[in-house]
């Protein structure tokens, strides 16, 4: 079964969202606080979101997306920062649209389970945005700058391997095998 990959437009949107997230977090300890501008620029180009919408929290998303959601009077995670609210709104709208068009790409970009994508695809965009607009759902994918940088490198390497169209064993591998002394001796002994 073939899956449609991410388009250039999808990756451009992911980069723009990552840049916005890193700008919002630039003065804090979260993720970008201790990163140089160059490293921030490189991190923004990651093919996945550097922040999370708490996609793994099934209870939260079930409550948010139920037919008549009850407002939580004791909610400590109300969205108060306008910049973060905008990043969240844009990010959720992008992920919802991507999930409608290509759920595998949405899962790849958001590192979300398939059940989360199914939940968000089951509602309209207007209902999805309305049910999430007052909540602060954004969290850094990783807590510290050093952890983020190491994890970014690992995830980037894995994702580049997954999306590489060139087969792992090509002519270079066969040529390298021929240069090893043991194989040359075995071939020489047979001739």
pLDDT, tens digit, 9 for 90 and up, residues 56-89? 999 999 889 887 655 555 555 555 678 889 999 9
Structural domain includes residue 88: yes
Structural domain includes residue 3: no
156-179: average pLDDT:
62
pLDDT, tens digit, 9 for 90 and up, residues 22-40? 988 754 544 445 677 888 8
Structural domain span for residue 108: 8-190
The pLDDT assigned to 31 comes to: 46
3-state secondary structure the chain: CCCCCCCHHHHHHHHHHHHHHHHHCCCCCCCCCCCCHHHHHHHHCCCCCCEECCCCCHHHHHHHCCCCCCCCCCCCCECCCHHHHHHHHHHHHHHHHHHHHCHHHHHHHHCCCHHHHHHHHCCCHHHHHHHHCCECCCEECCCCHHHHHHHHHHHHHHHHHHHCCCCCCCHHHHHHHHCCHHHHHHHHHHC
The pLDDT assigned to 133 comes to: 85
| pLDDT over threshold 80, residue 55 | yes
The pLDDT assigned to 102 comes to: 92
The pLDDT assigned to 127 comes to: 93
Structural domain includes residue 2: no
The pLDDT assigned to 96 comes to: 95
The pLDDT assigned to 6 comes to: 87
| pLDDT over threshold 50, residue 101 | yes
The pLDDT assigned to 116 comes to: 93
The pLDDT assigned to 30 comes to: 46
pLDDT, tens digit, 9 for 90 and up, residues 111-153? 999 999 999 999 999 999 998 888 889 988 866 555 555 666 6
| pLDDT over threshold 90, residue 3 | no
Structural domain includes residue 166: yes
Structural domain includes residue 1: no
Structural domain includes residue 107: yes
40-47: average pLDDT:
89
The pLDDT assigned to 37 comes to: 82
- Total of domains in the chain: 1
The pLDDT assigned to 66 comes to: 83
Structural domain includes residue 142: yes
Tokens for 110, please give them.
């958001």
Structural domain includes residue 80: yes
């Amino acid at each position: 079964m073939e899956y449609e990959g991410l388009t250039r437009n999808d990756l451009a949107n992911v980069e723009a969202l990552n840049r916005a997230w890193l700008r919002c977090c630039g003065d804090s300890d979260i993720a970008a606080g201790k990163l140089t501008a160059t490293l921030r620029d490189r991190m923004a180009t990651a093919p996945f979101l550097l922040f999370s919408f708490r996609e793994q929290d099934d209870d939260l998303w079930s409550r948010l997306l139920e037919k008549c959601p009850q407002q939580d009077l004791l909610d400590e995670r109300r969205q108060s920062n306008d910049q973060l609210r905008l990043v969240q709104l844009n990010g959720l709208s992008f992920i919802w649209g991507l999930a409608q068009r290509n759920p595998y790409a949405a899962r790849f970009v958001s590192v979300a389970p398939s059940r989360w994508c199914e939940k968000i695809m089951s509602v309209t965009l207007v209902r999805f945005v309305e049910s999430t607009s007052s909540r602060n759902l954004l969290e850094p994918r990783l807590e510290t700058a050093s952890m983020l940088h190491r994890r970014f490198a690992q995830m980037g390497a894995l994702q580049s391997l997954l999306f590489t169209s060139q087969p792992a064993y090509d002519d270079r591998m066969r040529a390298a095998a021929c240069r090893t002394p043991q194989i040359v001796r075995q071939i020489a002994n047979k001739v």
